[in-house]
A and B are shown apart, each in its own frame.
Chain A
Amino acid sequence: RLRKWQERIRTKDAGERNLQFALSEIDRMASALGVPRSVREVASVIYRRALKEDLIRGRSIEGVATSALYAACRKEGIPRSLEEISEVSRVERKEIGRTYRYISQELGLEMKPVDPKKYVPRFCSELELSEEVQSKANEIIETTAEEGLLSGKSPTGYAAAAIYAASLLCNEKKTQREVADVAQVTEVTIRNRYQEQIEAMGIHG
C-alpha cells in the first residue's frame, strides 16, 4: 500500500514536471516569436485541455505544446505560419501540422481558415511599407477573395502577392525576393498569386 502511494506521488510528480516543461516551452517559443502574453495564456489553456482529454498519448509533449501555440496565435488573430513556428520548435513542420489538426479536431476548436489580411501588418512592418500599402494590400485581398480566388491557396503566399502588388501600385516597390523572404514563400508563388489577383482586380501590371 505504501508502494502504491509512492507510485502515485511519483506519477503525479512526473505529470507536474511534464506540464511545467510544456508550459515553459510554450513560453520560450512565444518569446522567440514575439507574441503577447495573452497568446501564451490561450496556448496554455489549449495544452491543459489536450492533457485533460488525454490527447498527448502517443505524441510528444513538445509537439502538442507547439501545436497549441500555433492554434493560439490563430485564435488571437495574430497567426504565425507553420514555417515560422517550426523555426522556434524542435518539432518539424509536418508533425506540428498533423498534431495541430488532431487537437483542433478533438477539442472542437472550430478554427476558421486564416485570413491572409492578418499577415499584412506584420509583413508590411518588416518591409517598412506605409499604411497606404497596407490598406491597398487589404483591399486586394478582400476583393479577390470575394471572387473566389482564395480557395485552396496558402494565406501567406496570398498575402505576400497582395503586398507585392500594393507596393508597386503605391510606388514603394519591394522586389519579389524581399517579400518572399519575409513571408517565407517562393518567388514563384508570389508571381502566380500576383498574376491572378491583378487580373481579378482589373489592373494592368
Chain B
Amino acid sequence: MTDPKETINIENVVASTGIGQELDLQSVAMDLEGADYDPEQFPGLVYRTQDPKSAALIFRSGKIVCTGAKSTDDVHESLRIVFDKLRELSIKVEDDPEIVVQNIVTSADLGRQLNLNAIAIGLGLENIEYEPEQFPGLVYRLDEPEVVALLFGSGKLVITGGKKPKDAEHAVDKITSRLEELGLLE
C-alpha cells in the first residue's frame, strides 16, 4: 500500500513580501506591460509571471502578495522576476526582501473510498462540517498542525492553511491514523 504521504502535491503557495518603498501604481501600470490595475475594483495591481506561473498583487505601500506558485522555490523565483521588473522601471527595491509564506494548499490521496457519513459521526459532528447539499467535501479542522482538510468520497483530500510543506505531511499522518483507529479506512 502506497503511503498517502507520497501522494502529497503542493498546488498553490501564497506569500507576502515588500520592497520597502511606496509606489505610484498608476505609473507602474503604464510602464509594466501585462499589468492589470483597476483601483475602483481592487487597490492592488495584478502582475502575472509566466515561468513560474504566478500572480503578484502589488500595492501602493510597496507590499506584495504572490499566489499561484507550485512550490516555495517558485514563489522566490516569481518574486525575483517581479523585483527585477520593478527595478527596470528604476524603482528602488531592497536587495533581499523578506518573503513570508502565508498559506500552502496541498492535495493528496488516501487510496481508498471514504464513507463520509460514517466519518462525520466517527470524528464527531461537533468537530466537522459536512453539508453535501452545499459542498461534496467534509471539512475537518486540525489543531496540530493548524490546518483545514477537505475530505472527499474518492479518498482524495485537500489540505490548506499550512505554512510549511511539512504541515501537510503531519496532517495526512494524523488523518490516516485517526481514520484507521476508527476503522473507517475501508
| Chain A residues within 8 Å of B, Cβ to Cβ | 81-82, 97, 101, 105, 108, 110-114, 145, 148, 150-156
Contact = CB atoms under 8 A, between A and B. Distances in A.
Main secondary structure of the interface of A (DSSP, over half): loop
A101 B139 CA distance: 12
Interface residues of B, number: 20
B125 interface: yes
Contacts, number: 56
Given A110-B125, A112-B121, A154 B133 contact: yes
A113 B136 contact: no
B133 A150 contact: no
Interface stretch (B21-29, B86-94, B111-119): B111-119
Given A113-B120, A148-B115, A153 B126 contact: no
B152 interface: yes
Nearest to A116: B132
Interface string B135-163: 01100000000000000110000000000
Contacts of A148: 113-115, 153, 186
Contact of B132 (A108, A110, A111, A113): A113
A148 B113 CA distance: 8
Contact of A151 (B115, B129, B131): B115
Given A82-B133, A97-B134, A151 B121 contact: no
